[in-house]
Chain A
Amino acid sequence: QKEVEQDPGPLSVPEGAIVSLNCTYSNSAFQYFMWYRQYSRKGPELLMYTYSSGNKEDGRFTAQVDKSSKYISLFIRDSQPSDSATYLCAMGLDTGGFKTIFGAGTRLFVKA
């Protein structure tokens, strides 16, 4: 079993839709959780990070962590064509430990 599972997609939605991106994980000891966005021919860019269960909101983006279910989500409200990218979840045991585990990424297309 992989430590982090992420549906590769692609996921295609119309402009203005609410997008839900998800990852599951197997290691209940993970302490921090992140979402990165990667545009074509670019490196990943950090969107959000959190250390606790619950929701964290930043503009149109909401990150949700459910440690009891070992499940994290990223919601994008009012999606825009500029949100078309690959979204990577990431998580790790120890903020000082240099070992973050990444999901393989979900490819998202937002159609105008």
Chain B
Amino acid sequence: ETGVTQTPRHLVMGMTNKKSLKCEQHLGHNAMYWYKQSAKKPLELMFVYSLEERVENNSVPSRFSPECPNSSHLFLHLHTLQPEDSALYLCASSQRGGGEGYTFGSGTRLTVV
């Protein structure tokens, strides 16, 4: 398999649930990202990992918790979410800082009920 793979594609969860999103990249990139995409809004950067170390945390609420066990895998752990957290969550990877472009996964469509 090539590119960036995200699972699950769709997720419906209650506000008291705990779930995790998974991302895997097969490109040999050294940086991985979580972005949130809401309707008619720009992509919002949530977290960045470079060489498995977190280098950016864009004031994201603590109910979102990232984990990067190695340079190919990235997780986003979710707990006690709010309905306004419903969105498309995109994982991306890049070589270096992304100035030559990101490769995105297809995203997880999250609905919080």
In the complex, chain A residues 19-73 whose Cβ is within 8 Å of any chain B Cβ:
31-32, 34, 41-46, 49, 51
A-B contact count (CB 8 A): 69
Task: Kindly identify which residue among A43, A97, A105 contacts B97, using a CB–CB cutoff of 8 Å.
Answer: A97
Which among B45, B99, B101 has the highest number of chain A CB atoms within 10 Å? Answer: B99
Interface of A is mostly: loop
Tell me the bound Cα distance from A96 to B103 in angstroms: 16
Tell me the bound Cα distance from A33 to B99 in angstroms: 8
Q: Is the CB of A100 within 8 A of B102?
A: yes
A19 to chain B, nearest CB (A): 20
The interface residues of chain A lying within 8 Å CB-to-CB of B43 are: 44, 88, 102
Closest to A47 in B: B101
Given contacts A4-B42, A8-B40, A43-B4, A100 and B106 within 8 Å (CB-CB): no
On chain A, the number of residues with a Cβ less than 8 Å from chain B's Cβ atoms is 27
A11 to chain B, nearest CB (A): 15
Interchain Cβ contacts under 8 Å between A and B, 24 examples? A4-B42, A8-B40, A32-B99, A42-B107, A43-B90, A43-B104, A43-B107, A44-B104, A49-B99, A51-B99, A92-B99, A95-B96, A95-B97, A97-B99, A98-B48, A98-B55, A99-B45, A99-B56, A99-B97, A100-B98, A101-B42, A102-B42, A103-B42, A104-B41
A contact residues vs B (CB 8 Å cutoff): 4, 8, 31-32, 34, 41-46, 49, 51, 88, 92, 94-105
